[in-house]
């Protein structure tokens, strides 16, 4: 675990930059994290991010690719355009949710 | 007379039926189990069929033999579940079954049709699954005469039933081709949507190099879009390609079709369930156990078993008007075959990742956690006997339902 300074706040993140405490997340932070990933957030991005945060609150884990496409109403192709190279992982990172994991 | 209806007589449903029958008086309660087939499948055994270790007969038993005698067993497909009316309609004789309490244990299934190209002309010819008896026996036949090439194992999407099965398959494949004397002619590649074969820190730290040692390659973060069965390659959404000669697919896993039809599931037809009490989130007289839930636990028989222990205690409180206790912790315990007569064992829950140590007796074992040993392999071999004779029948096992930290190293 490391602490990273973003927008003047001390944010707890893992080695790959995933936030560890989702309650520290703010929309402003999402903009910053996205920038570092080379993504400029638009309304289409926010639709996905907001849905993911909502469902993660229910599930207790980051949603999978299929859950996002079915639930947030975007096609998989579109999702890959919005969040290139592994959208489930990228959305999770920007939305301040945990990294999608297996059991080992 | 009150009625309990159990949908699905697999691992979870059978355990629950046995436990309920042990605890409740048959004069007051009528228990009914509905399942679509007469055969109970020992699903952990499917992994061994491709390598000729088990045959199809080794993993099948008559379902009724494992259900209590005072339980009504109905073999039928289920048409629709209507929780608002506390009833379920089934195909056989167009019956409507009413219930006071419903327990849904309809499991999960592979849906290869969801990935374009998978189930076309090459299905069960150069493309296989091993999550069904048909798939695993077809693959066994193929492997008997296969002369080598690129074997690619692809996980379509998480979550999958038995998340360690892909790793075990690769370890056993390494051993099998070694025994066949053609390991040098086989290229093994695991293609996964996750960030690697291991995603939890302690497991990655202790087991991370085992794939390299066994010369198994990993392609991470690959989200399959389609298979091109003529060009022998799989293609991801971001246009990566992996070529194969033999493709072993773990297709998308979803809940039962009846869950979809009844509008009870999420995007993958898994039922929203309270992760600590196992009660359906939307209904007060419906419980969900085993693979059918949307819990962030593993989809595995051990989880169904621990859920059964927690459920029965809670259910007996509930019918007496007491609150449900939030006692299920996501506990899972899985043997991982690693080939050459050895295996690993992992033990974890919602909050605690797999840690090294000794199990089940702290400091003693006989099993070693997160460490390869011959004893772990024997644990897996003997487990089939335990499954049929102890676990399904709801008899006590020497493992607690809640995960224990005793004997683990931080």
- Total count of residues recorded for chain B: 410
Numbered residues of chain B with Cβ closer than 8 Å to any chain A Cβ? 157-159, 163-164, 167, 193-195, 198-200, 203, 207, 221, 223, 225, 237-238, 252, 266-268, 272, 275, 294, 296, 298, 332, 334, 336, 346, 348, 350, 354
Does residue A100 lie within any of the structural domains? Answer: no
Confidence band of A7 (pLDDT split at 50, 70, 90): confident
Residues shown for chain A: 104
* Residue A58 domain boundaries: 2-94
Q: Give the count of alpha carbons within 13 A of A12, CB side only.
A: 8
Token look-up 């080695």 returns: A15
Of A43-47, A98-102, B136-140, B168-172, the poorest mean pLDDT is in A98-102
Could you give the domains of chain B?
A: 2-107+256-318 (3.50.50.60), 111-252 (3.50.50.60), 332-391 (no CATH)
How far apart (Å, rounded) are the C-alpha atoms in residues B112 and B224?
12
Q: What is the ipTM of this complex?
A: 0.74
Give the number of domains in chain A. Answer: 1
Surface-to-core class of residue B291, CB atoms within 10 Å of its CB (0-12 exposed, 13-18 middle, 19+ buried):
buried
Confidence check: pLDDT of A102 > 80: no
Q: Could you tell me which of B355, B366, B41, B236 has the C-alpha nearest to residue B49?
A: B41
pLDDT of A52? 94
Report residue A10 as tokens: 């001390």
Number of A–B residue contacts, CB under 8 Å: 73
Q: What percent of chain B has pLDDT over 90?
A: 93
Question: Looking at beta carbons, which residues of chain A come within 8 Å of B158?
Answer: 64, 100, 102
Burial class (CB in 10 A: 0-12, 13-18, 19+), A92: buried
Mean pLDDT over residues B152-168, rounded? 95
Neighbours of B3 (CB within 10 A): 16
Q: pLDDT by residue (tens digit) across A34-86?
A: 999 999 999 999 999 999 999 888 777 888 888 898 888 899 889 999 998 88
DSSP one-letter string for B103-133: EE---EEE-GGGSTTTTSTTBTTTEE-SSSH
Q: pLDDT digits over B239-270, tens only?
A: 899 999 999 999 999 999 999 999 999 989 99
Is A27's pLDDT higher than 90?
yes
**Confidence check: pLDDT of B387 > 90:** yes
Mean pLDDT of B277-286: 98
Identify which has the larger pLDDT, B113 or A62: B113
**Where does B21-178 show beta strands of DSSP type E?**
29-35, 39-41, 60-62, 72-75, 78-82, 87-90, 96-98, 101-104, 108-110, 127-128, 149-155
Residue A86, in any domain of the structure: yes
């Amino acid at each position: 675990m490391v602490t990273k300074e973003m927008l003047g706040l001390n944010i707890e993140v893992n080695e790959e930059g995933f936030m560890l405490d989702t309650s520290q997340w703010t929309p402003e932070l999402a903009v910053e994290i996205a920038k570092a990933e080379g993504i400029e957030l638009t309304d289409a991005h926010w639709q996905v991010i907001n849905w993911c945060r909502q469902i993660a609150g229910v599930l207790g884990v980051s949603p999978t690719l299929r859950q996002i496409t079915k639930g947030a109403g975007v096609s998989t192709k579109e999702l890959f355009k919005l969040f290139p190279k592994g959208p489930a992982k990228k959305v999770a990172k920007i939305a301040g949710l945990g990294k999608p994991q297996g059991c080992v | 007379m009150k009625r309990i209806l159990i949908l699905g007589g697999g691992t979870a449903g059978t355990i629950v039926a046995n436990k309920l029958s042990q605890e409740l008086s048959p004069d007051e309660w009528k228990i009914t189990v509905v399942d679509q087939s007469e055969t109970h499948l020992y699903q952990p055994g499917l992994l061994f069929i491709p390598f000729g270790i088990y045959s199809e007969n080794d993993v099948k038993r008559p379902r009724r033999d494992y259900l209590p005698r005072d339980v009504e067993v109905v073999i039928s497909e289920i048409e629709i579940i209507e929780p608002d009316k506390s009833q379920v309609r089934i195909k056989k004789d167009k019956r409507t079954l009413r219930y006071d309490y419903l327990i849904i244990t309809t499991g999960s299934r592979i849906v290869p049709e969801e990935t374009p190209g998978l189930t076309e002309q090459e299905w069960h010819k150069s493309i296989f699954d091993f999550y069904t008896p048909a798939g695993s026996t077809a693959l066994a036949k193929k492997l008997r005469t296969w002369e080598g090439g690129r074997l690619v194992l692809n996980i379509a999407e998480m979550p999958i039933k038995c998340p360690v099965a892909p790793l075990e398959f690769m370890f056993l494949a390494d051993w099998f081709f070694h025994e066949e004397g053609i390991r040098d002619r086989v290229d093994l590649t695991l293609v996964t949507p996750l960030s690697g074969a291991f995603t939890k820190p302690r497991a990655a730290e202790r087991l991370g190099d085992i794939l390299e040692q066994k010369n198994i390659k990993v392609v991470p973060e690959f989200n399959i879009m389609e298979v091109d069965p003529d060009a022998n390659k799989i293609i991801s959404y971001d246009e990566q390609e992996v070529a194969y000669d033999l493709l072993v697919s773990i297709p998308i896993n979803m809940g039962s079709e009846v869950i979809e039809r009844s509008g009870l599931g999420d995007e993958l037809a898994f039922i929203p369930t309270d992760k600590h009490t196992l009660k359906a989130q939307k209904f007060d007289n419906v419980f969900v156990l085993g693979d059918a839930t949307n819990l962030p636990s593993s989809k595995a028989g051990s989880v169904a078993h621990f859920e059964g222990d927690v459920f029965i205690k809670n259910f007996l409180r509930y019918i007496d008007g007491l609150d449900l206790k939030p006692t299920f912790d996501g506990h899972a315990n899985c043997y991982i075959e690693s080939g050459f007569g050895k295996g690993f064992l992992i033990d974890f829950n919602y909050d605690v990742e797999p840690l090294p140590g000794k199990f089940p007796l702290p400091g003693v074992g006989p099993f070693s956690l997160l460490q390869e040993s011959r004893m772990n392999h024997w644990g897996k071999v003997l487990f089939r006997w335990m499954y049929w004779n102890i676990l399904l029948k709801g008899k006590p096992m020497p493992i607690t339902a809640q995960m224990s930290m005793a004997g683990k190293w931080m």
